[in-house]
């Protein structure tokens, strides 16, 4: 919807400070990379640069060529013969060479090995820092989110599960550890997102300072910090699996400013 490929069934979508999604003004400032790194497999990397330059109002051919040279991606090699990591980098280069204000990435890490994933995200982070590009990234690679997400939206079964500034979400959530015999009483007051009990000990993941708790640690209990991955998984777990939040499947949408 943000890039104009589909329309909302209700409401409206605007981007870049109020431009209607799909409008010429919006598209000139947005670059989009789909999950499968869409490339013409029989065209060389050089041909892809030439094609993209001719299909866009603005395209920095010199920047694109310099970037591919720096990555060691041969310009004469067909796109379909490149490795998965090289294809992803080529697709990202085509997007960045348009010097967008907003870069939208749909599951760009899904098919990449750990090294290619790290290199890809390093490029995205550099563009954010050096060029001021805003990035909206959807990903199931939860471990990648904590180090780069400024704002996080968690969706499950098409429903909003969690949203907010990443640092604030981490500060608000914690695990309370204490005797299982008192867990029901504490849970009734703290409304845990996740309730795990093993033997005589209970572990309750709570959100303090709001509807999920008043922030006070019950006597005899200890509070421990949690990772972003723990928080996300707690909100995505199906009912009956140690979580009060329903829904077995989800899509993670990360907005990085």
Quick one: pLDDT at residue 123? 82
Q: What is the DSSP string of 42-101?
A: TSBHHHHHHHHHHHSS---HHHHHHHHHHHT--TTSBGGGS-HHHHHHHHHHHHHTT--S
> Which tokens in the block code for residue 9?
């069934």
- Spell out the alpha helix ranges (H) of the chain: 24-27, 45-55, 61-71, 84-96, 114-131, 166-172, 183-190, 228-236
The Cα diameter of the chain in Å comes to 69
Quick one: pLDDT at residue 78? 95
Rounded Cα–Cα distance for residues 61 and 52 (Å): 9
Question: One digit per residue, pLDDT tens: the chain, 257 residues?
Answer: 999 899 999 999 999 999 999 898 898 899 998 887 789 999 999 999 999 999 988 899 999 999 999 989 999 999 999 998 899 899 999 999 999 999 999 888 777 778 877 888 888 888 888 888 899 988 887 777 777 788 999 988 888 999 999 999 999 999 999 999 998 988 888 889 999 988 889 999 998 754 444 568 888 899 999 988 999 999 988 654 444 433 333 344 444 44
Torsion, Cα 96 99 101 104, to 10 degrees, reads -20
Torsion, Cα 204 209 214 218, to 10 degrees, reads 40
Quick one: pLDDT at residue 112? 77
Q: Residue 131 carries which DSSP code?
A: H
Burial class (CB in 10 A: 0-12, 13-18, 19+), 13: middle
Domain 14-138 has CATH 3.40.50.300: yes
Quick one: pLDDT at residue 214? 56
Q: Residue 137 carries which DSSP code?
A: E
Quick one: pLDDT at residue 238? 64
- Structural domain boundaries of the chain? 14-138, 166-247
The answer for residues whose C-beta is within 8 angstroms of residue 8's C-beta and 6 or more apart is 1
pTM, two decimals, is 0.78
Quick one: pLDDT at residue 151? 92
């Amino acid at each position: 919807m943000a890039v104009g490929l589909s329309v909302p069934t209700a409401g409206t979508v605007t981007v870049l400070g109020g431009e209607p999604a799909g409008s010429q003004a919006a598209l000139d400032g947005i670059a989009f990379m789909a999950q499968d790194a869409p490339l013409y497999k029989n065209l060389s990397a050089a041909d892809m640069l030439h094609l993209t330059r001719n299909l866009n109002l603005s395209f920095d051919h010199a920047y694109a060529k310099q970037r591919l040279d720096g990555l060691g991606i041969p310009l004469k090699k067909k796109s379909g013969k490149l490795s998965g990591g090289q294809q992803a980098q080529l697709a990202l280069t085509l997007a960045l060479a348009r010097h967008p204000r907003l870069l939208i990435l749909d599951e760009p890490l899904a098919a990449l090995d750990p090294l290619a994933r790290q290199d890809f995200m390093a490029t995205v982070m550099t563009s954010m820092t050096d060029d001021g590009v805003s990035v909206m990234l959807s990903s199931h690679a939860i471990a990648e989110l904590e180090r780069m997400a400024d704002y996080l939206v968690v969706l499950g079964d098409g429903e909003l599960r969690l949203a907010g500034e990443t640092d604030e979400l981490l500060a608000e959530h914690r695990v309370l550890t204490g005797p299982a015999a008192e867990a029901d009483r504490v849970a009734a007051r703290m409304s845990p997102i996740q309730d795990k009990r093993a033997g005589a000990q209970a572990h309750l993941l709570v959100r303090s300072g709001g509807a999920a708790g008043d922030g006070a640690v019950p006597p005899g209990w200890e509070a421990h910090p949690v990772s972003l991955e723990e928080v996300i998984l707690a909100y995505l777990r199906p009912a009956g699996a140690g979580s009060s939040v329903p829904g077995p499947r989800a899509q993670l949408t990360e907005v990085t400013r």
